[in-house]
Every structure is written in C-alpha cells, then in structure tokens.
Structure 1
Amino acid sequence: MKKNILVVGSGLYGSIFAHEAAKLGHKVTVIEKRDHVGGNIYTKEVEGIQFHQYGAHIFHTSNKAVWDYVNQFAEFNRYTNSPIANYNGEIYNLPFNMNTFSKLWGVTTPEEARIKIEDQRKSFGIGEPKNLEEQAISLVGSDIYEKLIKSYTEKQWGRKCTELPAFIIKRLPVRFTYDNNYFNDRYQGIPIGGYTRIIEKMLESPNIEVKLDTDFFANQAELESNADKVIYTGMIDQYFDYKYGELEYRSLKFETEVLDEENYQGNAVVNYTDEKTEFTRIIEHKHFEFGNQEKTIITREYPSDWKKGDEPYYPVNDEKNNKVFEKYLKLAKSQNKVIFGGRLGMYKYYDMHKVIEEALIAFGNLELS
C-alpha cells in the first residue's frame, strides 16, 4: 500500500527521506517555511559566484556509500578545506600543524614541536581536563590556546572557555606534518553549481509536492491528520510546545558585501581569533570553486544568543540542555506517526555526511508497507 508522507523541512535530512519514499511510489508532501528548498546548505548564484547564504558548507566523508550516494545528484570539485587564522594581523595555518608551529615558535621538526607543547602542558599540571580551557591546553599547550582558540571559542559560544565542556574540543585536529588539509576524510569537495542543485534533484519526482512559505505549526493538526507518516526536522522542543522549556542554541548573524575587486583575502575561510574583532570569520565564496570573476563576495559571521524567531544553528549540548533534551527524546519515541531527525530534531550538530548516514539508516528502519 502506498502511503501519504509529510516531510517538514527541505534540508538534507528531509529531502533524502522524500527522495527515497518517492522512489518506492509513495506520495510525499514537503513543506518548507522559507521561500526556497535546501535548509542551511542553500546556495544561489550571485555575480556568477555560488553564494553560501547560511554559512560555508564543505562536504567531506570517509564513507564511500555516502560519497557515492551524494554523487548521484552532483559532480564535486577538488576543493580542500584549508582555513587560516588571523590573530591581530598574524597569519597561522589551520588545523594546527607544522606550518603553525614553525610560524609560532620557529621550530622546524616534529620533535621540536612536541617538546614545546609538552613543556607547556606540564607547566599547567592538568590531570583530567574539567573544561574546554584545560582540554585545549592539554592538547596543544598554552600559546596556541591563547592565540588561536580562546577568544574565537568564546565568541562562538558566548561563554568563557572555563564554562564550556571539554568534549567540544576533544577532536581538535593536531598534526605534526606540513599538511594544511583540515579534514582527514578520504572524500572532500564542493558540488559544482552549488548545493541547492542537489536538493532540487532529490525533490524532482512527480510523487513529490513541495510547498514553500508554509508554516507547519500554523496548521499542524490538519497536516498531520492527512499523513500516514510525518518526518519532522524542526526543533524538537518547538514540536512539543516547549513543554519542558526551551533548549538553548547559538545563532549567527551574517554581514555580506559584493566587492569590486577580484580577490579580497586569498582564501575561502579566514578565522579571526583575537578578542577585539567581533566576528569569528570571513568567508570569501568564490574560492570554494576557484573562481576568477572580476567581483568577489565576502560574508562576516557574528555569533549570537538564540531567541525565538532567530535561526538555531548550534545546539548547546551542555549537561543542563542535554538533560532537557532527553525528556523531549522520550516523548518523541512515544510518537508512532512522527519521526524526528536532523540537527534540530535530534538536538545535535551533524556534518552533512552524518546527516545522510542518519537519514538513510532511519529510512531503512521505517516500515512503509
């Protein structure tokens, strides 16, 4: 029997569900509160440049099945994520590697760098790290922490590093090689023509109807009553009308300029790690696709506290919020008709390849017969 499936949100998670269900002949309705599909990976062409409207997205994965899946919908270029840090005008390579250590300390060998970091670790006498500051110093020493981590992180999260949990930075890339590639994953790149094209191809089935500018909560009861299954990718606390209180998020404000110059900063991503600069980074969009257009587009990112009406970008997964989320998750699991997924539905920050993995696993477990 074919089912009527309602997908709330046209981001990557919801669009994969819609695509897979439509392939099996089910009727799918995708509703989206914005005036475009794609969620936060939405891109559009401006001045011949693919503009990442909601912040930079670089696809990377070591999962060949995920790589093969997404390559059904787009051809990817060879872009390698190699951000740099600007600390009061001093430029350092990221992730932390031998280029970083050489610029910072004048060392030339991995052994010299290891000794320098170890000496700084020992001077602080940190045992089991109790917060982000202690975790960072135990990984890379105090110099790198002070110049390249502390202020950037505090701007990003709106809290002191001593108040942030250690796990946020446990996977911090540290390399004792001259390698500026931020990711270790086997596959990496940017879709040629932008991410929106991927979503549009996922949703182009005749079995899928897309409704833009549609607020799920304005007509929730009727929308759900007409569906056999609901795939919900919005905020889990909002779905339950904030029964246990609001979960905390960090949001972003974007300041974008089109400039009459070919090359503003020479790199796609430059992080500003000093305290006095209010924004955390500048994105120069054309460098994601090796553009040579006469103009360029830059976006400054300003982290901010989230309040209702803002876009929730980063879940604040501290102990307090995670306890509240567990209550919502218990409610979610009691719903027979509704499946919660994605970054907001599961109150967890996912990279794109993880969203694809989770969506495909969840769809595989779904009984639609």
Structure 2
Amino acid sequence: MAEYDYLIVGAGLYGATFAYLARQKGKKCLVIDKRNHIGGNVYCEDVDGIHVHKYGAHIFHTSNKQVWDFVNGFVPFNRYTNSPVANYHGKLYNLPFNMNTFYQMWGVTKPKQAKQKIEEQKEKSGIVNPQNLEDQAISLVGEDIYKTLVKEYTEKQWGRDCKDLPAFIIKRLPVRFTFDNNYFNDTYQGIPIGGYNKLVEGMLAGVATELGVDFFDNKEKWLALADKVVFTGKIDEFYGYKFGKLEYRTVRFETEELDVQNYQGNAVVNYTSHDEPYTRIIEHKHFEPENLAYDNEKTVISKEFSTEWKDGMEPFYPVNDEKNAGVYKKYKELADNESNVIFGGRLAEYKYYDMDDVIEKVMKDAENYNI
C-alpha cells in the first residue's frame, strides 16, 4: 500500500488547488517543492509590510463566478483595477489603447476621429496579408500606435526584431473607443488582501508539505510514495529531455527598496522604447492601497528585464513556434499514455495560463480524474 493517494510535485497554484480539492474528497496528499516556499510564481515576500510579488506582478481577474467565489473563500480580495501606463521617451500613454491613449497621441476627443486616424494609417500601409508581427500590428492599429507602444516593447520582450517574429503572436490588439483605462474586460478583478501567500496557505492547510526537496534527486523514491502523481514541473525534464529541451523566455528582476512614499504613482508602468533596457517597473505597494504599509515612507520597485532562458534560470513564457510545438507534441503523446501521472500547469503543459485559467483547469481535471 502506498503511503499517499497523491504525490503533488509543485506547491504553485495548480498543485495547491489540486491538493485542496483532493483533501476535500478525503484523499491523502503530499506536496513537495524544490523551492523553500509555497506558492510558486505567485509567492510574495514581505518587505517592511509591503507584499512584493517576487516573480512578477500577478493580478487576479476572471469572469468565472465559481472561480472567483472559490478564491475568495480562502482570503478576501480587494478592488484593485489594473490600469497600466506606458512611458515612451518620457511621454505617458494610458493602456490598453483607448480614447485617453488616442487623445494623448493625436489630440482627438471623439471616437469617430480616433477610428478615422487608425483606418487612414491601416489603409496607407497597404498590408493585406500580414507576413510577420510588424505587418500584423500595423494592419490592426496603424503605424503611430505600433511604433510608439508596440514595436520596441515587443522587441525587448522577445529579443528579436518584430519583422522576424510570426504574425500569430499578435492575433489582435485591444482597442477601445471609450475613456476606460481598465486593462481587463473580466467581471471580477483584485488582489488578495494580505498577499497571495494567504491564498495558497489556505489551500494547503492540513496538507503534508515538504519544501527544499527536488523530485529528480530521488525520483523513484517519490514515485513509490503515492498511488498517483500530479506533476507540475517541466514535462521535458520529467522525460529526461529525450526529445530535446523546450525553450522559454524568462524575466530577470532588479528589486530595490527606496526611501520615498510613492515612486511612480501607479503599480505598473511599461517602458516602450529601447532607451531603457527593462520592459516595465512595478511598484508593489499600489496593488494593496488598503495596506497600512501604503503610507510608509518607503516603497519597493522591481525593474523587469526580458531575456533568453538558459539552464538554471526560471522558465516563464513558452516559445510558441513550430519547432517547440513539435517537441512538446512528442512529450504530450508520452504523457497521454501515463496511467498514474497527471500533468498540469504552465510547465507541464507548456502553455501560458492566467491564474483563473489554472484554477478552472484543476477543477476540470479533478472531475475528469474522478477525485
């Protein structure tokens, strides 16, 4: 008899949600993680009372009421609304592209004027069949918006010229002809009051958890502990990279505490020109203005630098090209034939997930696997 019903490899959002749902059904679970903390990439560090998003900004948003009610059952969420600002050569523009953006760019005040500007530029480009990301973006929003808010920012993100990136990366660009700076269209949006750690701690309450242990240091030992394994790590690593390594983009963070109460006046400011090597600056305290630390004469900022992933770095974003899709397909075929291993999450499925999508996926997986 195995000691546990489920061994869950990874204490991130997928693993923690799965562990909670399984425990609710009376299953005995063990969660392990090679990091020294739970929460995966939603983990927050406490710096002078400010909850610092260690692995980049995470803003919870969803239109799924079941998911929203689920997460609020562990911790109440605040009313934070994501309204990023873009800085291009010192001039500020609201995001996503909306009437505020168009006024800042062209001085237009009516939706009809903004639409006319965009249509004129799209027509002038003469692009009918976009061959790359640059063509695709210009055919959607025109040249001014592309050059100011898309081109250099995207090149910093991907480390490649936009003409060398496939068109499908930008299938569409959100354009609103209203004065609405809310980045997301979802019904619900917010940040857990007290940080994301409270959310994951709630999910893992009562679940056996071991941190600072690497599944691959003694794979056979861990596999023998449970009837089934839920694996949330890199799928190519699980199979010993037998078909080669999947590629990622990663992010490097430069985080510093400053002796100022308010550094930039907004949680997220994107830097869309090559003048700055970083893609954006996050000021963490703005995610939780209700926090008593908000009025402290200190703040914490993180500059984000997008780079190519190498071994030893944290894998963030799958590289969605034909080469990697082909490699992943081979691993997926192996995974589909596993009777005692469930693969879930962004690394195991080589897929970018929003947080609500992760939770919804776990709910479906739990139902499909009859937990």
TM-score by length of 1: 0.97
Contact kept? 1:173, 1:182, Cα under 8 Å? no
Corresponding residue number in structure 2 for 1:34: 35
| Aligned equivalent of 1:344, options 335, 341, 347 | 347
**How many angstroms does 1:221 deviate by?**
1.1
Q: Deviations over 1:114-140 (max 9, x none)?
A: 111111111111123232211211111
Q: Structure 1 residue 355 and structure 2 residue 358: aligned? A: yes
Whole-Å separation in 2 of the counterparts to 1:344 and 1:227: 22
Q: Structure 1 residue 297 and structure 2 residue 310: aligned? A: no
Corresponding residue number in structure 1 for 2:215: 216
**How many angstroms does 1:276 deviate by?**
2.2
Where structure 1 has 5 or more consecutive residues not aligned to the other structure, the ranges are none
Whole-Å separation in 1 of the counterparts to 2:196 and 2:165: 33
1:166 maps to a residue whose letter is: A
Q: Structure 1 residue 83 and structure 2 residue 84: aligned? A: yes
Computed over aligned residues only, the root mean square deviation of the Cα atoms, in angstroms, reads: 1.2
Corresponding residue number in structure 1 for 2:287: 288
Whole-Å separation in 2 of the counterparts to 1:27 and 1:130: 52
**How many angstroms does 1:294 deviate by?**
1.5
| Aligned equivalent of 1:320, options 303, 318, 323 | 323
Cα 1:251–1:224 change in 2 (3 A) is same
Alignment of 1:151-162 (within 5 A): 151-162=152-163
1:79 maps to a residue whose letter is: Y
Corresponding residue number in structure 2 for 1:104: 105
Contact kept? 2:46, 2:52, Cα under 8 Å? yes
Whole-Å separation in 2 of the counterparts to 1:356 and 1:167: 26
Contact kept? 1:281, 1:301, Cα under 8 Å? yes
Q: Secondary structure at the match of 1:222?
A: helix
Whole-Å separation in 1 of the counterparts to 2:184 and 2:370: 36
2:343 maps to a residue whose letter is: F
Contact kept? 1:118, 1:141, Cα under 8 Å? yes
1:308 maps to a residue whose letter is: D
Contact kept? 1:7, 1:29, Cα under 8 Å? yes
Whole-Å separation in 2 of the counterparts to 1:301 and 1:240: 31
**How many angstroms does 1:282 deviate by?**
0.2
Q: Deviations over 1:292-348 (max 9, x none)?
A: 221100000011110111000001111211111111111110111111110111101
TM-score by length of 2: 0.96
2:337 maps to a residue whose letter is: S
2:240 maps to a residue whose letter is: D
1:126 maps to a residue whose letter is: I
Whole-Å separation in 1 of the counterparts to 2:240 and 2:32: 19
Whole-Å separation in 1 of the counterparts to 2:83 and 2:169: 21
Q: Secondary structure at the match of 1:168?
A: helix
Q: Structure 1 residue 367 and structure 2 residue 366: aligned? A: no
Q: Secondary structure at the match of 1:81?
A: coil
Aligned residues: 366
Alignment of 1:1-369 (within 5 A): 4-205=5-206, 208-290=207-289, 291-368=294-371
Contact kept? 1:43, 1:195, Cα under 8 Å? yes
1:343 maps to a residue whose letter is: R
Whole-Å separation in 2 of the counterparts to 1:350 and 1:172: 18
Contact kept? 2:4, 2:225, Cα under 8 Å? no
Residue range with higher mean Cα deviation, 29-38 or 131-140 = 131-140
Whole-Å separation in 1 of the counterparts to 2:78 and 2:344: 29
**How many angstroms does 1:172 deviate by?**
2.3
**How many angstroms does 1:165 deviate by?**
2.3
Cα 1:299–1:347 change in 2 (3 A) is same
2:214 maps to a residue whose letter is: D
Q: Secondary structure at the match of 1:77?
A: coil
